[in-house]
């Protein structure tokens, strides 16, 4: 077993913690002052899972420290960093390596481990045996719950990152301390003195032989295995072999997968997962990220980085808008209605197209009767149409749909998900609108991070049952009480839109309408007429 040969506090720690971070706090509190149970509870609540990565920097940010940081961020775990080497590296290969002196690696280790409560240490590039010893010395002074060893030797481009003497250091000093070691087939072969590892059966043999060197568990990664349509990894815990299969993603963007996998395992362990679950989650995460990133292009070399946060592609459809939200987008706000589309026998996409061609400046899909799958498909199709027009698309009520289709935002009412929660889910760039009828609701919307307010019903409406009418006075009161831009809604159409715009408050930016556009035989001309009325009204107000 990993720690049975180590008569140090690391062994003591492994035995006590049983992979739950709460236990650690408990042990510390019992040792120091057994009576302070209130503080113990408080510390338990506040504990943030923490991975320390001890690895090299990759200037191209596909692998190394940079991949570790992104992987931990994606898995919701804090990551601190000790840099062992600085590499000049890009998608073509490694152009230079500058090793950080051992005493300065020791200084970094001490800075982090003496101050922060690190749960799991993950190692990557360790360019000398002395450096391995420095790390082990630090861990004996500051024990952690688990040690994940990614035995980095050769970069994906084929450049050597750890020479033969370092391999001996890894094998003899570090592996016996590891809770898991995660070699690919080439690294497994190098650690085992050049043993041939080209089949799944070889991988099992290698896993067993590596386990004999002392780590608690071994994951031999078969991503580089020739002639396999699947990505097969072998996990061995000393008793059982587990063959973990996932479909191979056909992409050039695989730089940093090893670092990412090991960091994800460390992150899951830091959260308290058992080892096999951590490995499965990590493998699934890497496969998902590779699949998502398979077409992105970063750099011109043969091996590109991938997108850990699954966000880079979404910017391509947002690029039509210069900023996340422009209040003037509220000018002619078209809100769809599944009932009226059914009544007039048209598709939601045709309705949205017509509204856009008539001058709508923002679209909200308010599909109260749609089933989830149908709504999602319609939202994806409408998003493409809105993209072409450079107009934002919001989803009414359904954060899940907005997330799934990467819509520009959502509109929420007082009984929908709170805007603050939606903001946490959607991130800072998405548009969030909140329905408000009072200054208090408007104030809360501002506090919660809304981008705009929808205020109504300005007039009675047949579209929304039992809707309270606030009138022009109610609208004005809400506008004056808030710094946020406001769009008026409820019973508004060609006949009264200019009265609404004429209330003379600068943050009233437009009108939102359902029936005035969509409960009409022809949407396009109605949209044009309403647009003209609004233009005329704002010219007069100026
Ligand atoms: C622009 C705009 N303003 C208000 C609403 C109403 O939202 P909500 O109060 O959540 O009611 P429903 O639309 O969900 O019935 C809106 N949709 N858009
Ligand atoms: C969806 C909605 N919200 C309202 C509010 O007062 O918050 S009024 C309303 C219906 C607006 O439809 P029409 O333009 O057909 O009156
Ligand atoms: Mg709602």
Q: What is the pLDDT of residues 248-279, one digit of tens each?
A: 899 999 999 999 999 999 999 999 999 999 99
Lowest mean pLDDT among 82-96, 98-112, 346-360, 528-542: 528-542
Integer CA distances (angstroms), 443 to 150, 436, 478, 483, 498, in order: 51, 9, 9, 9, 27
Pocket test for ligand 2, best of 364, 441, 463, 486 (most atoms within 8 A of CB): 463
How much is the pLDDT for 159? 74
How much is the pLDDT for 8? 32
Average pLDDT, rounded, for the chain: 89
Residue 536 has pLDDT above 80, yes or no: yes
**pLDDT-based confidence at 31, cuts 50/70/90?**
very low
Q: Number of C-alpha atoms within 13 angstroms, CB side, residue 28?
A: 14
For the chain, give the percent of residues with pLDDT over 90.
Answer: 81
Sequence ranges of the domains in the chain: 50-312, 316-541
How much is the pLDDT for 42? 53
Site of tokens 């301390």: 177
Pocket test for ligand 2, best of 461, 465, 527 (most atoms within 8 A of CB): 461
Can you tell me the distance from the alpha carbon of 161 to that of 85, in angstroms, rounded to the nearest whole number?
Answer: 10
**pLDDT-based confidence at 539, cuts 50/70/90?**
confident
Q: What CATH number belongs to 316-541? A: 3.20.20.70
29-48 in b/e form (b: 16+ CB < 10 A) is: beeeeeeeeeebeebeeeee
What residues sit around ligand 3, an ion, with C-beta below 5 angstroms?
397, 413, 416
Listing DSSP states for 163-199 in one string gives -HHHHHHIIIIIGGG-SEE--BHHHHHHHTTS----S
Nearest CA to ligand 1 atom 11: 413
Residue 35 has pLDDT above 70, yes or no: no
Cβ–ligand 2 contact at 457 (below 6 Å): yes
Instruction: Give the angle 135-141-143 at the CA atoms, nearest 5°.
Output: 80
Average pLDDT rounded to a whole number, residues 22-42? 37
Residue 243 has pLDDT above 90, yes or no: yes
Nearest CA to ligand 1 atom 1: 454
What is the value of pTM for the model shown? 0.72
Q: Name all residues whose Cβ lies below 6 A of ligand 1.
A: 333, 335, 364, 366, 396-397, 411, 413, 416, 433, 435, 454, 456, 464, 487, 489, 512
How much is the pLDDT for 441? 98
**pLDDT-based confidence at 103, cuts 50/70/90?**
very high
Residue 158 has pLDDT above 90, yes or no: no
Can you tell me the distance from the alpha carbon of 257 to that of 517, in angstroms, rounded to the nearest whole number?
Answer: 51
Torsion sign (Cα): 128, 130, 136, 139: negative
**pLDDT-based confidence at 22, cuts 50/70/90?**
very low
Cβ–ligand 2 contact at 330 (below 6 Å): no
Average pLDDT rounded to a whole number, residues 144-168? 85
Cβ–ligand 2 contact at 464 (below 6 Å): yes
Alpha carbon 357 to its chain centroid, in Å, reads 35
- Ligand closest in space to the Cα of 364: 1
Residue 36 has pLDDT above 50, yes or no: no
Site of tokens 């808030």: 482
Residue 244 has pLDDT above 70, yes or no: yes
Range 50-312 has CATH code 3.40.1190.20: yes
Torsion sign (Cα): 439, 331, 494, 464: negative
Q: Which atom of ligand 2 is nearest to the CA of 493?
A: 14
Residue 7 has pLDDT above 50, yes or no: no
Ligand 1: distance of its center to the CA of 49 in Å?
A: 39
Per-residue pLDDT tens digits for 106-134: 999 999 999 999 999 999 999 999 999 99
Ligand 2: distance of its center to the CA of 462 in Å?
A: 8
More confident of the two residues 44 and 414:
414
Per-residue pLDDT tens digits for 135-151: 999 999 999 999 999 99
Per-residue pLDDT tens digits for 457-476: 999 999 999 999 999 999 99
Average pLDDT rounded to a whole number, residues 484-494? 98
Ligand 1: distance of its center to the CA of 396 in Å?
A: 7
Per-residue pLDDT tens digits for 273-311: 999 999 999 999 999 999 999 999 999 999 999 999 988
């Amino acid at each position: 077993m990993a720690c049975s040969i180590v008569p140090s506090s690391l062994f003591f720690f492994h035995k006590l913690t049983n992979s739950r971070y709460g236990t650690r706090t408990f042990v510390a509190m019992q040792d120091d002052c057994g009576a302070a149970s209130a503080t113990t509870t408080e510390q338990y609540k506040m504990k943030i899972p923490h991975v320390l990565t001890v690895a090299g920097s990759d200037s191209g940010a596909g692998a190394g420290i940079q991949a570790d940081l992104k992987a931990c961020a994606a898995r919701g775990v804090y990551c601190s960093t000790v840099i062992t080497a600085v590499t000049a590296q890009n998608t073509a290969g490694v152009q230079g390596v500058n090793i950080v002196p051992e005493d300065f690696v020791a200084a970094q280790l001490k800075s982090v481990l003496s101050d922060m409560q690190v749960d799991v240490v993950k190692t990557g590039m360790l360019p000398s045996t002395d450096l391995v010893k420095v790390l082990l010395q630090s861990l004996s002074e500051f024990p952690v719950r688990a040690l994940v060893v990614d035995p980095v030797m050769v970069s994906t481009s084929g450049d050597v990152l750890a020479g033969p003497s370092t391999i001996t250091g890894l094998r003899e000093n570090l592996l016996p301390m590891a809770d898991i070691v995660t070699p690919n087939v080439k690294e497994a072969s190098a650690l085992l003195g050049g043993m041939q590892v080209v089949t799944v059966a070889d991988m099992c043999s290698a896993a067993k032989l590596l386990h004999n060197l002392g780590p608690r568990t071994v994951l031999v990664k078969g991503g580089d295995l020739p002639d396999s349509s699947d990505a097969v990894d072998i996990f061995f815990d000393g008793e059982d072999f587990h063959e973990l299969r996932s479909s191979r993603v056909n992409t050039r963007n695989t730089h940093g997968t090893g670092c990412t996998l090991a960091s994800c395992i460390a992150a899951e362990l830091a959260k308290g997962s058992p080892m096999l679950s951590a490995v499965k989650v990590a493998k699934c995460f890497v496969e998902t990220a590779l699949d998502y990133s398979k077409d992105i292009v970063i750099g011109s070399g043969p091996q590109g980085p991938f997108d850990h946060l699954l966000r880079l592609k979404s910017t391509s459809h947002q690029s039509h808008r210069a900023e996340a939200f422009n209040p003037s987008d509220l000018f002619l706000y078209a809100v769809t209605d599944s009932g009226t589309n059914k009544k007039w026998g048209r598709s939601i996409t045709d309705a949205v197209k017509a509204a856009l061609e008539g001058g709508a400046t923002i679209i909200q899909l308010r599909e109260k009767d749609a089933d989830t799958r149908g709504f999602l498909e319609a939202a994806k199709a409408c998003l493409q149409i809105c993209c072409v027009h450079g107009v934002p698309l919001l989803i009414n009520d359904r954060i899940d749909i907005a997330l799934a289709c990467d819509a520009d935002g959502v509109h929420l009412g007082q009984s929908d998900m709170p805007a603050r929660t939606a903001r946490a889910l959607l991130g800072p760039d998405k548009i969030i609108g909140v329905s408000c009828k009072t200054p208090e609701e408007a104030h809360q919307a501002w506090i919660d991070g809304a981008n705009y307010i929808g205020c109504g019903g300005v007039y009675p409406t047949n579209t929304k049952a039992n809707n309270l009418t606030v009138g022009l006075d109610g609208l004005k009161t809400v506008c004056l009480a808030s710094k946020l831009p406001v769009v008026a809604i409820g019973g508004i159409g060609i006949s009264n839109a200019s009265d609404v715009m004429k209330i003379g408050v600068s943050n009233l930016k437009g009108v939102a309408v359902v029936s005035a556009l969509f409960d009409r035989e022809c949407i396009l001309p109605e949209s044009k007429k309403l647009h003209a009325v609004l233009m005329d009204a704002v010219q007069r107000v100026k």
